[in-house]
Amino acid sequence: MPILVVEDNADQWLIIRSALAQCFPEVEPIWVNNPMQALKYLESCLSDETKLPRLILLDLYLPRREDSWILLEAIKSNSVYRQVPIVVLSGSQDHDDVVKSYTFSIASYIVKPITYHQWLTCFYTFRRYWWESVTLPQRSLKSSV
Amino acid sequence: MPILVVEDNADQWLIIRSALAQCFPEVEPIWVNNPMQALKYLESCLSDETKLPRLILLDLYLPRREDSWILLEAIKSNSVYRQVPIVVLSGSQDHDDVVKSYTFSIASYIVKPITYHQWLTCFYTFRRYWWESVTLPQRSLKSSV
- Which strands make up the sheet holding A86-90, listed edge to edge? A29-32, A3-6, A55-58, A86-90, A108-111
- C-alpha B100/C-alpha B112 separation (Å) is 17
C-beta separation of B128 from A125 below 8 A = yes
Task: Tell me how far CA of residue A142 lies from CA of A46, A83, B51, B76, B103, in angstroms.
Answer: 10, 10, 37, 20, 10
- State whether residue B135 sits within 8 Å of chain A by CB: yes
Contact check, Cβ <8 Å, B133/A145: no
> Domain containing A76: what range?
3-130
The enclosing domain of B107 has a CATH number of: 3.40.50.2300
Q: Count of CB atoms within 10 A of residue B96's CB?
A: 13
Judge whether A21 lies within some domain.
Answer: yes
What residue of B is the nearest CA neighbor of A124?
B129
**Parallel, antiparallel or unpaired: strands B55-58 and B86-90:** parallel
- Residue B11 Cα, gap to closest chain A Cα (Å): 22
Contact check, Cβ <8 Å, A138/B102: no
Contact check, Cβ <8 Å, A96/B138: no
Write down the H helix ranges in B5-115: 10-23, 35-45, 65-76, 95-103
Q: What is the pLDDT of residue B118?
A: 97
Low-confidence stretches of chain B (pLDDT beneath 50):
140-145
First to last CA, chain B: 23
Is 60 exceeded by the pLDDT of residue A142?
A: no
Contact check, Cβ <8 Å, A107/B107: yes
Whole-number average pLDDT of chain A: 93
Tally of structural domains, chain A: 1
Q: What is the pLDDT of residue A131?
A: 96
DSSP, res A104 = T
Judge whether B123 lies within some domain.
Answer: yes
Q: What is the pLDDT of residue A29?
A: 96
Strand partners, B6: B32, B58
Q: What is the mean pLDDT of residues A36-49?
A: 93
- Residue B35 Cα, gap to closest chain A Cα (Å): 20
Q: What DSSP element (H or E) covers B4?
A: strand B3-6
C-alpha count within 13 angstroms, C-beta hemisphere, residue A114: 1
- State whether residue A114 sits within 8 Å of chain B by CB: no
- State whether residue A107 sits within 8 Å of chain B by CB: yes
Judge whether B57 lies within some domain.
Answer: yes
- State whether residue B114 sits within 8 Å of chain A by CB: no
Residues in chain B closer than 8 A to A107 (CB atoms):
85, 106-108
- State whether residue A82 sits within 8 Å of chain B by CB: yes
Give the three-state DSSP class for B89. strand
Torsion of CA A13, A123, A67, A62, to 10 degrees: -20
Judge whether B80 lies within some domain.
Answer: yes
Q: What DSSP element (H or E) covers B109?
A: strand B108-111
Closest CB from A76, A107, A132 relative to B108: A107
DSSP, res B139 = S
Judge whether B143 lies within some domain.
Answer: no
Give the three-state DSSP class for A127. helix
Judge whether A139 lies within some domain.
Answer: no
Judge whether A141 lies within some domain.
Answer: no
Q: What contacts A96, CB < 8 A, 6 or more positions away?
A: B145
Judge whether A142 lies within some domain.
Answer: no
Report how many Cβ contacts below 8 Å link chain A to chain B.
Answer: 112
The pLDDT tens digits for A62-87 are 999 999 999 999 999 999 999 999 99
